Amino acid sequence: MMSNSWKITLPCTRAEAEALDMEDFLPGAQDIAPTLVTRRADGDDDTQWLIEIYCDDKPDKAMLKQVATLVPKSDGEPELEELPEEDWVTVSQQGLEPIRAGRFHVHTPDHASSSEPGVYNIRIGAGQAFGTGHHETTAGCLAMLDHIRRSGARADTILDLGSGTGLLAFAAEHLWPRAYITATDIDPVSVEVMGENIIANGLKSGMRQGEIAAIAADGMDDLLIQARAPYQLIVANILAAPLIALSEDIAAGLSPQGNLVLAGLMNHQAEDVLRAYRRQGLRLAHKIVDGEWSILWLRKRPVV
């Protein structure tokens, strides 16, 4: 998107930044949905962060007031800045350093791939979708998938629920290259971004073995998702509330002895999420804690 655009900046703490989600901020006055970015403020203090919201249209006073409600205890007021004619989605993600999680090296087009043997390179460009690997939940999912693969787990059918950029689906394809992979997101824009990233990473889009079927879907309520079930591996990096709400449907779509990775939940929410899935016959196999976030690996009990 090339246009004069606007940026709103609001100071916050790291905990407040990590607890935010775009669903917390859905203004109706904007023709194009804003992009919400959180980053550490300049300096050495890791507790001081910034919320940056990039908009195609000039925000009005009502929108600025809505931004202020995201962090009621903020040390400052929302600051509005007009940006030059640039692709502001790309600008919002420029400067992201490559990350290493498990055997994965995730980088933007601004950085080179890793030449280290045994490392899987994944290139994720800027876009209106979640999942560059820099958030603890996404990086934790990458590490968990690598851990599951090293355990010898089989995954011929894989579902990435809430895929965003497609990063976790790409990771699964590297680890289980002959799997049938379905990657879904509720946001059609994210599905478009995912398709672009599939091409950029030299992967194949489609319905056949070793290909990624990228579709827009709301939860498990989709004919293709249901037709390809049961899945030997499901990854759901969304939020605690929808994870709990979808627990019955997700568990029903998982094969006996299947593996499930849950993320997008803070540490204090983990027990509630676990309780919901234990009721569906799953048990905890492994847990990764990264800062204030938990990543869970659960297994479904075999049919007796």
269: pLDDT confidence band, cut at 50, 70 and 90? very high
Can you give the pLDDT at residue 251? 98
d(CA 6, CA 54): 6
Which pLDDT tens digit goes with each residue over 92-123? 555 567 778 889 988 877 777 788 888 899 98
Judge whether 181 and 213 are in contact, CB under 8 Å.
yes
For the residues 205-234, what does the mean pLDDT come to?
A: 95
d(CA 290, CA 304): 36
Does residue 274 have a pLDDT over 60? yes
* Topology of the domain comprising 2-88: Alpha-Beta Plaits (3.30.70)
Concatenated DSSP letters of 213-262: EEEE-BTTB-HHHHHH-SEEEEEEES-HHHHHHTHHHHHHTEEEEEEEEE
Which pLDDT tens digit goes with each residue over 60-74? 898 898 888 888 888
- Ranges of each domain in the chain: 2-88, 147-300
Residue with tokens 């787990």: 153
Strand, helix or coil at 194?
helix
Query: Who wins on pLDDT, 14 or 175?
Result: 175
Asked if 2-88 and 147-300 have one fold, the answer is no
Residue percentage of the chain with pLDDT more than 90: 47
Can you give the pLDDT at residue 94? 53
Can you give the pLDDT at residue 174? 97
For the residues 264-269, what does the mean pLDDT come to?
A: 90
Which pLDDT tens digit goes with each residue over 279-295? 999 999 999 998 888 99
Can you give the pLDDT at residue 21? 59
Q: Are strands 231-237 and 157-161 parallel, antiparallel or unpaired?
A: parallel
For the residues 45-57, what does the mean pLDDT come to?
A: 80
Query: Please, what is the Cα angle at 120 between 153 and 94, to 5 degrees?
Result: 130
Residue with tokens 């859905």: 26
Determine phi and psi for 267, rounding to 5 degrees. Answer: -55, -40
CB atoms within 10 A of CB 60: 12
Terminus-to-terminus CA distance in the chain, angstroms? 55
Domain covering 147-300: architecture: 3-Layer(aba) Sandwich (3.40)
Which positions make up the binding site for S-adenosyl-L-methionine? Answer: 138, 162, 185, 237
29: pLDDT confidence band, cut at 50, 70 and 90? very low
- Cα R_g (the chain), whole angstroms: 19
